[in-house]
Each structure stands twice: as C-alpha cells, then as structure tokens.
Amino acid sequence: MSAADTTTTQVPPPRRHSSPPGHRTGRPRAARRRRFTLGRAATPWLLLAPCILVLVLVLGYPLVKLGTLSFQDYKKPQLWGFKPATWVGFDNYQAILKDHEFWSVVVRTVLFAGSAVILTMVIGMLVALLLQRVSGWVRTLVNIALVASWAMPVVVAVTVFKWMFDSDYGVVNWTLSQLPGVDYTGHNWFASGPEGLSVIMLQVVWGAIPFVVITLSAGLTQVPKELEEAARLDGADAFGVFRYVTFPIIKPLVVMMTTLSVIWDMGVFAQVWLMRGGHPEPEFQLLTTYSYEKAFGVNDYATGSAIALLTVLLLLGVVAVYMRQMLKIGEVE
Amino acid sequence: MSALTSRPTAAGRLDAVNRKRRNAKLGWNLLGLLVFVLAAFPVYWMMNTAFKPAKDAIDPKPHFFPWPVSLENFHRALNISDFWGPVERSLIVSASTVVIGAFIGLLAALAISRFAFRGRKVVIVGILTVQMVPLVAMIIPVFLLLNQIHQIDKLSGLVLTYLTFVLPFTVWTLRGFIVNIPKELEEAAMVDGCSRTGAFIRVVFPLLAPGLVATSIYGFIQAWNEFLYALLVMSQDHQTATVWLGTFTTQHGTEYAPMMAGSTMMGIPVVILFLLVQRKMAAGLTAGAVKG
C-alpha cells in the first residue's frame, strides 16, 4: 500500500451521532483530505512519542520480562543481584503443570469467573430491561444507587461486605435468622472455601452490575420503538420482542461487556486478598493470588511469572473477541 | 364464569385494560424499588454503622438508623493510626498521575483523531490491546523493573505504574470527545488566519475542556482506588489511603465501627465526584458502540 492509499482510506469519516446533524453537511471531502495530507508526517509521531515511551517502558518491557522470567530461575539471590538469573527452559512450566494444586486453582478460577460473569450479565440485562418499564422517579432512585455502588472503591466495598457478613455482628446473619426456622447466629461464612468465595462473588457481582446496567440502558434507548411495536403488533410476546428485535441491536454492546467482565473477573485479586486478611487459605486461592503468593510469599518470581503468563494465555481467546468488536467500532469512525 | 358476565361493555373492557396496565406498572415499580434497596444497602449500611455510637454498632441486634448521631467512630478512626498521611500521599499520586496522563494522553489522542498517517491503525490497536492487559498479571515484572530503577517505596514509582492504566483509557476517551468536535470549526479558524496550533487552542480546546475534566476526574478516581500496586510498591510507613483502610483490621483486631467511618471518609468523596462526571463519561466511553 502506498502512502497516498493509506492516507485516503484512513482519514476518519465524520461521525454520525452525538452531535447535531447540522454540522455534517456541505464541505466536499476532497478539501478536507488535502488539508490533512499537507501536515508533516512527523507531527503525529511527535505527539504520540511521550505516550508510547511511557507505555513501552512500564508495560512493554515488563511484558517481555514476564516471558523471559518464566524460563529462568529467579529467586531472592537474583533479586538482590548476588547471583545471575539462569535459564532453565520449560522447567518452571513442567513443575506447574504437574502440580495438582495448580489445576485445582485453575478450575476454581474458571468456575468463579464464569459464574460471576453469567450472574453479572443476566442480572444486569434484567435490571436494564426493568428500568425501561418503571416510572421516572424509580429509575432515578435506582440510577443513583447504581452509580454510588459503581463508584465505591473496591477496598471500601470489600470492607463493608466483610462487615455485613461478620459472624457475630453481621447484619446478614441477623436478617437470615429472622426467617422462620433459620438460625444463622454466629455463622462463619468464611469457614469453607465455596461459601466464602460465594460471598466474594456476591461483592464482585454487586460492584460489576452498575456498569453493565448503565451501558445497556444507554444501548436500549437506541433501539427504535417502532421496531418493537411492529413486532408486538405481529403477535410477538415480550420474550419474542427481546429475542428477535431488541437483543440483535444491542448485541455488540453485550459482547463487549461480557468480554470485559471475563477479563475483570479473572483478574479479581483485592477482594480475595482483603477478605482473607492478606493470607488467602488454599481453598480461596485464585490464579491471581496464587501467582502473587508464589512470587512475593515464597520469593519464587519465575514460577509466579509462569502462572501469570498461563493466566494471560487463558484469557487470550476472550481478548481476541473483544478486539474484533472494538476494531469494528473503530472502523465505523 | 357464566355466559352472562362474559360479555363486558366496551367501556368496561377499556377500564380493565387500564387497570391491568396500572397494576403492571405498580409491579414493575415495586421490583425497581427492590433493586434500589439491594443496590444501595451496602452503602447505606456503611454510613449507618459509621454514624452511630460505637456500642450500638456492635449490638448483635442491628440498629437500622444511626440515632443518636455520633462522630465517635470518626474520632476513633482518625486516632487509631495516621489517616491524613496516607490520604495526602494518595492525593499526590492521583493528582500527578492525572496531570501527566491528561497531558500526554491529549497529545496522543490528537494524533490518532486529527491526523492521517501511516501506522495510525496499528497505534489504535496497540492502545486497545494495552488496555486489555490484566495488570495483576504484570505485577511481578513491574516490581522487578521498579526495583531496578530504584523506584520502590517512592511515590514517583507508583505514578509511573498508574500511568499504564490511566493513559490508554485517557487516550481512548479523549479521542472519542475529539472526533465529536466538527473539523469544520477548526478549518474555519484556519481560513480566518489561525495556525493549526492556534486553531486547536482557541477552538478545539474550549470545546474539549468539559470532556477533559470528566476524563481527568475519572482517571483520578481510578488512581485513588488502586490497591494492588500501592500494596506492593509502598512500605508500611508510606502507605496510601486504600492500603491504610485495607490493613486497618490486621493491626488493631476487627474494629468495624471505626473502619466504616474510615470507609465513609474514603468512599463518599469519590462517589460524589463520580456522580458529577458519570453522565459525561458514559457518553464518551460508549460513543459508537451500538452503531458498530
């Protein structure tokens, strides 16, 4: 492709939304194109330079380092510079993949993230649809509550959940005990892994729903009312209208939100770390905390890196879907 | 039902339809209120615990209203350990991150939204990909890097790492705001004799300012809320506000009432800031998403 080709195809065409349509008329495109090819080729790169520099230094370099570390022997002596790091090939990976604990952590992480994503998306979708049907004042109330819970710092939210689920003074145990025949007085939610992780998942889902609801609500307002009405007149029931009219229109948004949720929920760290007071028990370990513990708990940075890299590999497929979606959006512009 | 009553008048049928619709609306509203209660409960419970006398807070039978209102827990939270030190450090780190991020990000956003150049697409894909890198996975090499350049336990080191998540997001959102500003305005200014830079400063920048402020506030919140890197990079004596709150329990047993007071002090300003910019941000972030 010649330089001229690139230029003409990549001039972003004007956007069609979010600004009054009046701005968009007139002005032959050729004139605009000429103006932009006139700019010196170096200018955009100069503008980009600081951004790229920072990202390469603090993200690019560590990313490469993560890869090389995982093939080395890197422990405390290497960290302090007493010994050079030695290459060990696939030894770290072999050790990890043979480890039963690693596999149970993988299964736990996938189950945890999978359930959290499904819960977030389903509840988020239902709430977004519900918000279309309620009166204005209810919608305002719910929106305020959602934005407030969205904005809560994770550390604060986790602290509050820990307090609500406290075994002696927690409001959850008290409330459950009010139900006939139920006694949760003094119940310890973190005695078992699955139950404790469910509480953590509840916090994650509570914190993730607002973003989904608010984004999907915005998407739903762009669904033409006439289309839904037409479907209804043709005899479609509420579910049919959603399935065949509403959903296809907001599908790109749903795909984007789902992939983002997968990435975020696979990366849950602070919640587990904080709820377990900095020392998650074996049955609470997720891939993130497991890698962290290997690196900073027992100073085996190489093994920690290999686990982190395997986590990223696990995520690659999901990221690919997200990228495709974002690129499609990028092309529209 | 008998045959006699099964033939309602037209008016009666309309009434029934209206009543049905009203009942449905009532049902939806009740459901909506339930969602409101569930979503708001943790925030309410935090403040409820924070504002009541300490002995009410740990009564096994919960008090649902903070009455009498008391600031006891706040005093206790401030006295247990240094609160303002961590807050000051968090403010310095977040503000520096945002100022640097907004400046560098604005330049980059201009480049990818207002210039056509070879490799533009690669840059866009790069920025989007970078946004997807889970930072938790990067913590080990980032720690080693900071160790190498002697930035462990330094606020500047923390700022550097925070740029990795604030920058890509700032560039992407600002790009969204910039492409929404019609190029014709810039061109008109240039026809009237402005230089390209002059046109940007006099025409684009004022229009971009609200978006820039919103993006900066959002970035500020992100940096303020960050926990993992702050935990790892800073020593106990130089911890930031999130780590201060997170390690509150381990040092002094579980004193939940002062903890909730601390949580309120940390969380509520963020919530208010967020309420101010949320609408603007949502517009910038999801611009074009549905049309794709």
Closest-CA residue of A relative to B278 is: A147
User: For the domain bounded by B82-286, which CATH number is listed?
Assistant: 1.10.3720.10
CATH 1.10.3720.10 location in chain A:
92-332
Closest-CA residue of B relative to A264 is: B134
Complex prediction ipTM: 0.84
Token reading at A169: 């003074």
Instruction: Give the pLDDT of residue B288.
Output: 41
| Beta carbons of B119 and A32 less than 8 angstroms apart | no
Of B62, B190, B256, Cβ closest to residue A174: B62
Instruction: Give the pLDDT of residue A16.
Output: 40
**Chain A closest-CA separation from residue B96 CA (Å):** 14
B138·A130 Cβ contact <8 A? no
Question: So where are chain B's domains?
Answer: 10-70, 82-286
Of B108, B138, B254, Cβ closest to residue A66: B138
| Beta carbons of A120 and A146 less than 8 angstroms apart | no
d(CA A274, CA B249): 10
Instruction: Give the pLDDT of residue B274.
Output: 86
The DSSP symbol for A14 reads P
pLDDT above 70 covers a percentage of chain B that reads: 90
Average pLDDT, chain B: 85
Overall average pLDDT of the B258-273 stretch: 89
| Beta carbons of A63 and B137 less than 8 angstroms apart | no
Overall average pLDDT of the B173-197 stretch: 87
A155·B266 Cβ contact <8 A? yes
> Which amino acid is present at A245?
V
Choose among B68, B268, B147: nearest CA to A156: B268
Q: Where is average pLDDT lowest: A37-51, B110-124, B140-154, B222-236?
A: A37-51
Residue to mutate among B132, B196, B273, B279, with most A CBs inside 10 A, is: B132
Q: Is B158 exposed, middle or buried (0-12, 13-18, 19+ CB in 10 A)?
A: buried
φ, ψ for residue B210, nearest 5 deg: -60, -40
Instruction: Give the pLDDT of residue B252.
Output: 55
- How is domain A92-332 classified at the CATH fold level? MetI-like fold (1.10.3720)
Closest-CA residue of B relative to A52 is: B108
Q: Where is average pLDDT lowest: A192-196, B8-12, B45-49?
A: B8-12
Per the model's pLDDT, the better-predicted residue between A124 and B255 turns out to be A124
Residue to mutate among A156, A174, A251, A279, with most B CBs inside 10 A, is: A156
> What is the number of other CB atoms lying within 10 angstroms of the CB of residue A113?
25
Residues in chain B: 292
Chain A window 234-263: which residues touch B at a Cβ cutoff of 8 Å? 249-250, 252-253, 256, 263
Q: What is the pTM of this model?
A: 0.83
Overall average pLDDT of the B272-281 stretch: 79
| Beta carbons of A310 and A66 less than 8 angstroms apart | no
A141·B123 Cβ contact <8 A? no
Judge whether residue B17 has pLDDT over 90.
no
Which pLDDT band holds residue B76 (cuts at 50, 70, 90)? confident
Which pLDDT band holds residue B129 (cuts at 50, 70, 90)? confident
Which pLDDT band holds residue B180 (cuts at 50, 70, 90)? confident
| Beta carbons of B158 and B92 less than 8 angstroms apart | no
Residue to mutate among B26, B140, B147, with most A CBs inside 10 A, is: B140
Token reading at A283: 């049955």
Token reading at A325: 């979606």
Cα–Cα separations (whole angstroms), residue A6 to A15, B95, B203, B266 = 20, 39, 28, 49
**Chain A closest-CA separation from residue B195 CA (Å):** 12
- pLDDT tens string, chain A, 333 residues long: the values are 333 333 333 334 444 444 444 444 444 555 554 444 445 678 889 999 999 999 998 888 999 999 999 999 998 888 888 888 889 989 999 999 999 999 999 999 999 999 999 999 999 999 999 999 999 999 999 999 998 888 889 999 999 999 999 988 889 999 999 988 888 888 999 999 999 999 999 999 999 999 999 889 988 988 888 888 899 899 888 899 999 999 998 988 898 889 889 989 999 999 999 999 888 999 999 999 999 999 998 999 999 999 999 998 888 877 777 777 777 766 654
Judge whether residue B234 has pLDDT over 60.
yes
CA angle B202, A32, A28 (to 5 degrees): 120
Overall average pLDDT of the B54-63 stretch: 80
